[in-house]
Homo-oligomer: A and B are copies of this chain.
Amino acid sequence: MLPATARQTDFHNDHLPESCKGAGDILARVGDKWSVLIVRQLDRGSMRFSELNRAIDGISKRMLTLTLRNLERDGLVERTVTPLNPPRVDYALTPLGVSLSKPVMALAEWAIAHKFDIQSARHDYDRAQEDN
């Protein structure tokens, strides 16, 4: 369906197989379920570990720790330790993290807006399969 004429009208894009490759890894991290939910929370302001743990439904301490580490490693989240007893650790988005939150929130809103469309599409598909 994509004829040879597409090539000349390629003004709007540039393939960049290189870039796409790198994008894959990053999208994997960014599109990760927990990463999105964490970014979504931190977009409202910094939070403590336990606050995040309570705010994000269903996440285990393990996954919260691991995901925060990855986000920190990618420079999206900043970790601030306040040496007290009991210890206090706050997490906040870095400027890079804030810039990410925009497209991520857009995606999250899309997901929420079309949740039912997808659920019903799944339902229809599954029912159609059963009939075979």
Residues of A within 8 A of B (CB): 1-2, 6, 13, 16-17, 19-28, 30-33, 36-37, 40, 44-47, 57-58, 72-76, 90, 92, 96, 99-100, 102-104, 106-115, 117-122, 124-126
Contact = CB atoms under 8 A, between A and B. Distances in A.
A37 to B, nearest CB: 7
21 contacts: A17-B57, A19-B112, A20-B108, A20-B112, A21-B58, A22-B111, A23-B36, A23-B115, A25-B33, A26-B114, A26-B118, A28-B31, A31-B31, A73-B121, A73-B122, A74-B118, A75-B118, A96-B114, A96-B118, A99-B114, A107-B107
B121 A96 contact: yes
How many monomers of this protein are in the complex? 2
A58 B28 CA distance: 15
Contacts of A121: 73-76, 96
Main secondary structure of the interface of A (DSSP, over half): helix
A8 B13 CA distance: 43
A117 B96 contact: yes
What 6 pairs across the A-B complex have the smallest Cβ distances?
A31-B31, A75-B121, A2-B45, A1-B46, A26-B111, A23-B111
